C-alpha cells in the first residue's frame, strides 16, 4: 500500500476526504490526518509517505511552504493541493513546485479517483525501476563476493544496505541447475519464491543456473533449509522441470563464501552420476576421484588427438559423450554443456601452438546451445578449426622448432634450458631463443613454465600426491620456486587450486 498524509486546518475536510473514496481499492492507505504544515513536517521527519494531500492556506506553515520542505526531505513524494477558486496564484506556484494536481473544494469524487489512479501508476513504475536497479546492484555485489573480488569494507557496507544478515554463525553457497525450465518468466518466479520463502540471496548465472547464499545459526539448520528448498522445487517439477542442487561446504564467515561457491561448482559436475531433483553435497556418496580421473583422461587425450588428426579427435569426441551418458539414461543438455565448456577451456589453456585462436566464440555458442547434438557439433567444429590452425602454423614452422617442441612435451619434467637444448640440437643458444620467440610468439622460459603448471594442475586434481611431490614431477626441483610460479600463473596456491 502507498501511504497517504492528509493535511487541512479543517478536520471535517480531511475526514470527508478519507471517507470520499475507498483508498485501498487503488493501492493507497491514509496513515495520518493533521491540521497544519508544521505538524505535517514533524511527522514526515519520523515517517515515510508516498502521497501528500494538503490545503494551501493554513496557519503556522502554508501548504506551499510545506511542499517546498517536503521536496528537500524526499523529492519522490507526490503532492496534491486542495484549493479554493480564489487561490489561483497559489496554484500556479504549486504547479511550479511539481504538484500532481489541484482539487477544488468541495472535492469531486471522480476527479480524486482519476488523480490517485494516475499517481498509483507512476509510483508503481518508479518503484519497479528502483527495485530493478537495486536488484542489479545487489546481484553485482553478491557475484563479487562469491568470486572474492570485493574488499571486506565494501561488501559489509553494501550488505547492510541490502538488509543481508552478515552476522550469522554459518553460511553456504549453492547452485541450482534447471535442466529444462520452460522460460525466463518461470525462472524469475522460482528465484523470487526461493528468496522470499527461505531468506536466501540469489543471483542468476550466465548458463541458466541459480546461485544463492543461505545463512543459519548452525550447519544442521543450513542442511534442513537446502532439503526444504529441494522439496519445494519437487512440488514445482511439472512447471519448472527437473533440477539439481549442488552445495559447497559450510563456512563460518561471509568473507569465506567464495570457498563454498567454488566447491559447489565442483560438486555440480557430479550430476552425471546422481539422481535428478536432489541435493549434491560433500556428503553425497560418489566416487569423485574416479570421475575426475576419467575426465582428466579425456582432456589429456583430446589435446594429444588434436596434434594428431581429425579422425582421432572424432573418435574421442564420440567416446567422451558416451562416457558422460553411461550413468544417465538421458544426458540432459545442461550437464553436457557444463562438461563441454570445461573441456574447451582445458584445451585452450593446454595448447600454446596457436596463440591467436579465440576460444571465446566456441564458449558463446555452447552457452546458447539447447541440444546435445548442437553441443557435440560445436565441440567438433572447434577442434577441427584448431587442428587446421595448428597445421597452418606447422607448415610455417622451421624443422628445428618442431623438433624442440616435440622434445619439450616429452621431457618437460627434466632440466630444460636454451643451453641444454642448443647442445642437444647443435644450434647456437641465442639464435634458438630468438627463433623460438619469433615462431611461438612467447619466450622460451614462459612456454616451459606454462606447460609445467598445466601439468601440475592436472596432477593436483587427479592424484593424492603432495604439492611438493607434484612440483618435482613436472620439473621444479625447488619447491619454493614451484609455489611462486604456480601462484604467478594461476593466482592461487597449489593447495587452494586443489580445493577449487
C-alpha dihedral over 214, 220, 225, 228, to 10 degrees? 160
Residue 488 grid coordinates: 604467478
Can you tell me the distance from the alpha carbon of 293 to that of 299, in angstroms, rounded to the nearest whole number? 10
State the pLDDT confidence band at 254, using cuts at 50, 70 and 90: confident
Percent of the chain with pLDDT over 90: 10
Q: Are 432 and 425 in contact (CB under 8 A)?
A: yes
Can you tell me the distance from the alpha carbon of 135 to that of 292, in angstroms, rounded to the nearest whole number? 37
Q: Decide: pTM greater than 0.85.
A: no
Mean pLDDT of the chain: 81
pLDDT for res 380: 92
pLDDT for res 109: 82
Residue length of the chain: 500
For 277-320, the pLDDT digits (tens) are 889 887 776 666 666 667 777 888 888 888 777 788 888 898 88
Rounded (5°) CA angle 371-374-375: 85
Which of the pair, 85 or 273, is modelled with greater confidence? 273
Burial class (CB in 10 A: 0-12, 13-18, 19+), 168: middle
Which of the pair, 164 or 423, is modelled with greater confidence? 423
pLDDT for res 150: 73
Give residue for cell 613436472: 474
Can you tell me the distance from the alpha carbon of 36 to that of 44, in angstroms, rounded to the nearest whole number? 13
CB atoms within 10 A of CB 5: 22
pLDDT for res 133: 46
Q: What is the DSSP letter of 108?
A: P
For 113-128, the pLDDT digits (tens) are 888 888 887 776 665 5
pLDDT for res 328: 58
pLDDT for res 11: 86
User: Which residues, 6 or more positions from 185, have their beta carbon under 8 angstroms from its beta carbon?
Assistant: none
pLDDT for res 377: 92
CB atoms within 10 A of CB 270: 20
For 344-374, the pLDDT digits (tens) are 888 887 776 665 566 778 888 887 887 888 9
State the pLDDT confidence band at 194, using cuts at 50, 70 and 90: very high
State the pLDDT confidence band at 130, using cuts at 50, 70 and 90: very low
- Range with lowest mean pLDDT among 4-13, 97-106, 199-208, 260-269: 97-106
CA Rg value for the chain: 33
- What are 245's strand-pairing partners? 176, 279
Amino acid at each position: 500500500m502507498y501511504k497517504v498524509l492528509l493535511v487541512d486546518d479543517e478536520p471535517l475536510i480531511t475526514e470527508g476526504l478519507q471517507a470520499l473514496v475507498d483508498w485501498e481499492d487503488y493501492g493507497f492507505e491514509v496513515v495520518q490526518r493533521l491540521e497544519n504544515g508544521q505538524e505535517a513536517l514533524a511527522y514526515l521527519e519520523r515517517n515515510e509517505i508516498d502521497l501528500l494531500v494538503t490545503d494551501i492556506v493554513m496557519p503556522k506553515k502554508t501548504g506551499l511552504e510545506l511542499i517546498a520542505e517536503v521536496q528537500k526531505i524526499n523529492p519522490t513524494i507526490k503532492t496534491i493541493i486542495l484549493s479554493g477558486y480564489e487561490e489561483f496564484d497559489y496554484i500556479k506556484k504549486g504547479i511550479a513546485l511539481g504538484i500532481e494536481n489541484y482539487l477544488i473544494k468541495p472535492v469531486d469524487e471522480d476527479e480524486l479517483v482519476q488523480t490517485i489512479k494516475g499517481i498509483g501508476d507512476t509510483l508503481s513504475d518508479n518503484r519497479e525501476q528502483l527495485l530493478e536497479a537495486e536488484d542489479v546492484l545487489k546481484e553485482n555485489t553478491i557475484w563479487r563476493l562469491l568470486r572474492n573480488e570485493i574488499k571486506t569494507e565494501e561488501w559489509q557496507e553494501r550488505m547492510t544496505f541490502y538488509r543481508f544478515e552478515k552476522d550469522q554463525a554459518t553460511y553456504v553457497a549453492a547452485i541450482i541447475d534447471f535442466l529444462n525450465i520452460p522460460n525466463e518468466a518461470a525462472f524469475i518466479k522460482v528465484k523470487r519464491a526461493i528468496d522470499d520463502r527461505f531468506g536466501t540471496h540469489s543471483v542468476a548465472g550466465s548458463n541458466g543456473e541459480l546461485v544463492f547464499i543461505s545463512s543459519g545459526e548452525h550447519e544442521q539448520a543450513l542442511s534442513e533449509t537446502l532439503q526444504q528448498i529441494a522439496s519445494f522445487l519437487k512440488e514445482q517439477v511439472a512447471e519448472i522441470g527437473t533440477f539439481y542442487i549442488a552445495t559447497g561446504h559450510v563456512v563460518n564467515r561471509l568473507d569465506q563464501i567464495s570457498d563454498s561457491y567454488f566447491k559447489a561448482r565442483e560438486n555440480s559436475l557430479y550430476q552425471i552420476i546422481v539422481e535428478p531433483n536432489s541435493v549434491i553435497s560433500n556428503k553425497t556418496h560418489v566416487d569423485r576421484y574416479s570421475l575426475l580421473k576419467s575426465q582428466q583422461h579425456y582432456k589429456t587425450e583430446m589435446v594429444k588427438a588434436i596434434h594428431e588428426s581429425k579422425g582421432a579427435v572424432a573418435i574421442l569426441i564420440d567416446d567422451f559423450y558416451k562416457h558422460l551418458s553411461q550413468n544417465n539414461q538421458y544426458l540432459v543438455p545442461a550437464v553436457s554443456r557444463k562438461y563441454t565448456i570445461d573441456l574447451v577451456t582445458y584445451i585452450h589453456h593446454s595448447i600454446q601452438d596457436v596463440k591467436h585462436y579465440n576460444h571465446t566464440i566456441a564458449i558463446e555458442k555452447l552457452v546458447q546451445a539447447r541440444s546435445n547434438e548442437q553441443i557435440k557439433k560445436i565441440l567438433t567444429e572447434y577442434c577441427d578449426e584448431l587442428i587446421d590452425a595448428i597445421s597452418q602454423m606447422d607448415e610455417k614452422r622451421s624443422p628445428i622448432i618442431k623438433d624442440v617442441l616435440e622434445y619439450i612435451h616429452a621431457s618437460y619434467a627434466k632440466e630444460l634450458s636454451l643451453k641444454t637444448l642448443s647442445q642437444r640440437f647443435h644450434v647456437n643458444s641465442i639464435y634458438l631463443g630468438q627463433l623460438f620467440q619469433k615462431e611461438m610468439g612467447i619466450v622460451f622460459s614462459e612456454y616451459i613454465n606454462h606447460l609445467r603448471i598445466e601439468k601440475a594442475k592436472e596432477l593436483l586434481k587427479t592424484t593424492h600426491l603432495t604439492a611438493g611431490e607434484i612440483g618435482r614431477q613436472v620439473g621444479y626441483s625447488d619447491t619454493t620456486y614451484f609455489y611462486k610460479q604456480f601462484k604467478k600463473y594461476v593466482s592461487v596456491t597449489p593447495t587452494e587450486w586443489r580445493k577449487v
